[in-house]
Structure 1
Amino acid sequence: MSSSVGATSLVVVGSWSVVHAQQCGDGSSPLPPCLTRVVVCVPTACLPACSNVDLFTYVDAFPRPGETIFGSAFQKGAGGKGANQAVAASCVAAASSNVRLIACVGADTFGKEYMAELQTYGVDTSSVTVVEGEATGTAAIWVNAEAENCIVVVPAANSKCTAELVRSKYEVLSNAQAVVCQLEVPLEAVTTAFSVAKTGHSGPVAARRGLAVA
């Protein structure tokens, strides 16, 4: 990797999942080549995304309606695909990079914990909006002994990640070299993010070889 790659910065609009990407011991990247290319070749990037706290409960078998059972374990972690991408990008990018998340969390304990966890991975949370009167989004995830799962997502503050909010981040998006979106926030927020990005420095990046990009 050349020294010119050092100023990488990425903007993510959306959410993240509880998968923590780290550089391999030999310095190689565990990420797919297409994502690695985005991270190491692009100076600035932004990710508009949904922000959920994942609440995992592990059980032998799912309860029937009206039944109360005991679980074997419980875990809590930050969740959502966009923030997962932001963490992965931050983990493989240079120390001087700026990976930025555009998202909404509630003014509650979950929201504070969520942003603190992202910051430990070097993700820039300065464009995350704290929404008064709203809870941070949650995903209640049950996992049985066969590794099957049932998930209930409560979007809560994520519904406030609107086109208007995205437009208020115009400077961030228009100056990004790459913008990564998912469909876990209102669709108009995603289309607005790409429209703003097209006025600036970012360009389309195909998710896989041969994928057509309009």
Structure 2
Amino acid sequence: FLLGMAALCLPLLALLTSSCLPQTARLLTTRHSPPPTPRMRAHDFASGLPIAPLLSNMVTSLRSEPNLVLEAPPGAGKSTAVPLALLRDGGFADGIIMVLEPRRVAARAAAARMASLLGQPLGGEVGYRVRHESKTSRETRVLVVTEGVLVNKLQADPTLEGVACVIFDEFHERSVDADLALALCREAQAELRPELRLVVMSATLGEALGPAVAATLGGCPTLTSDG
């Protein structure tokens, strides 16, 4: 099984270069955000943000396709708007939407922002889990985690039972754990969980990495935000 995982990782790991250094974690954008309310719908979360026009197409695509690549520049609002759009309109019933962030500070910030937009306390419908720290409850539907947490979960439970969708945020920053997690998720989807949805998000994937990621995801659609 692990040899199969390694084989899936190789095409992506070959593209990992020293130029893909992580950027300093930035505070997620809050510009033009409407007042929080628990009854807001998907597009309300992205009001005034460049990512807003893509949300309907994203939801529609994931209803017919298992995987998706989404490219949007920094500040577009993808880290918060995409998970909340899928929470409200994705049709995932009671399944968990897991969001992968490359760093702890980014995971906490994303979870806190989404909880604020929902008008709920952190650890309610939106929570996070990083190394040695967790804020979740039985009500948690959007769970933001770091790369190591997801890899450990996949090793303990290759089926990702209870998880409906995994979102890989800031994938352009690249790491061995992120590549391994994507390969393990893809293996689970192909052999055990065909209904599992995978979304790879990035500021830019480039001419080499973009096609490689799409190919790893079975030639999936790519949506691009210009703003």
Taking structure 2 as the reference length, what is the TM-score of the superposition? Answer: 0.37
Structure with the bigger percentage of strand? 1
Taking structure 1 as the reference length, what is the TM-score of the superposition? Answer: 0.39
The structure with the largest alpha-carbon Rg is: 1
